[in-house]
Structure 1
């Protein structure tokens, strides 16, 4: 005789409710944009009561901070999963990071994250709650990227930061163009041009080092 399934604890039920709300918020941000998203809409999409929503996230800004953290961690996991176990030259690594970044920026997670980031300009409450999270993410990303570049032979920190800033800004802008209905073939052509430009730049920089490195992850 099959034993009945164990009942979830209160903490487990609360955790699942929280996950449903974050998932619903990401879906809403992806489909409707930040301005159209409310805690009421998210609760409806998640299939939970308004009270349960407010118990988990007292304000929209509180919920958005959780979404920003969740999407960032998923991005990190995607990069690690793609790069893990591979031996890559510095150029191959940069282009792989670009490819993953392009996929992530166009995903519901990426769109949701960028919607939140853009909205901090006009929503002081959101900015107060979310900007510390986004700044921490940016610092972590810069440190990681610099370690990768330094291991390959590019040890100039300003150069590493500039490469990362250019790549992220370009990917974010191209993803926005795509979301706004720009011809997809043109957007994809622009991305391929970005790939070629950054690849050529990294090759040129590594040619100036004594031993362009291969990085093992």
Structure 2
């Protein structure tokens, strides 16, 4: 009976510690992924190493290698993490948009800010690296397609655009191409003032076109 009680006690202790251990594991992985994104922004893909990631995350090298044995394993997981992060940030920004006649300008400025954010910079580093890395491309491509579809959907919703009308889908896509290009330019130099001017003009164009008013 005493042995059984001891065994039950050990089992009970294992059960009570199992959940905290799982929480610690999730927290450790999250720190590693956040550190990877930060380093991609600061140092680029080439300058991001597993050693630097473990140091930034405050995780032992052995623990990091246990979860992500190679740099590609770590970066692929970071791609998935980044996809979720970009989607959540964009959805939150859309939810905070004002209503009224300045709505269109608010939408395009929000998109401009999103594509000039550190999260976009990290994604851009992965795009460039994936161009010549087949394994990374295989991971990045489907996730980027998913991000593209969701971003397009959120933009249509935010603008109240009717894509059944000829040319409206192309206008939405042109908007996304514009803010993506401006975001790329922002990685080289701070051109926020020029970006604002361009986006204000584009918002006026969108208002006229989406309302069906001829130029």
TM over 0.5: yes
- Structure 1 runs (4+) deviating above 6 angstroms are none
Deviation, structure 1 residue 204: 1.5
Give me the CA root mean square deviation. 2.8
Q: Which moved more, 1:26-35 or 1:50-59?
A: 50-59
Aligned residue in 1 for 2:164: 155
Distance (Å, rounded) in 1 between the aligned partners of 2:150 and 2:133:
25
Q: Distance in 2 between matches of 1:128 and 1:79?
A: 24
CA deviations on 1:32-81 (whole Å, 9 max, x unpaired) are 11111122221222122233223222333332233233333333333333
Q: Does 1:28 align with 2:36?
A: no
Work out whether 1:104 is the aligned partner of 2:114.
Answer: yes
Q: 2:131 matched to 1:124?
A: no
Task: Describe how 1:55-74 pairs up with structure 2 within 5 A.
Answer: 55-74=66-85
Q: Give the number of equivalent residue pairs.
A: 197
Larger radius of gyration: 2
In the superposition, the TM-score normalised over structure 1's length comes to 0.75
Structure 2 CA distance for partners of 1:135 and 1:79, relative to 1, 3 Å: closer
* Equivalent position of 1:143 in the other structure: 153
- The answer to whether the 8 A contact 1:68-1:134 is kept is no
2:29 to 15, 18, 26: 18
The farther-off stretch of 92-101 and 31-40 is 92-101
TM-score (norm 2): 0.75
Instruction: Report the counterpart of residue 6 of structure 2 in structure 1.
Output: none
Please report how far the alpha carbon of residue 26 of structure 1 lies from its aligned counterpart in structure 2 after TM superposition: 1.2
Q: How does 1:159-178 map to 2 (within 5 A)?
A: 159-160=168-169, 162-178=170-186
| Residues 178 and 206 (structure 1), Cα distance of their counterparts in 2 relative to 1, 3 Å cut | closer
Distance 1:124 1:116 in 2: 12
> Unmatched 5+ residue regions in structure 1?
1-5, 210-217
| 8 Å CA contact retained: 1:62, 1:129 | no
Gap change, CA 1:171 and 1:208, over 3 Å in 2: closer
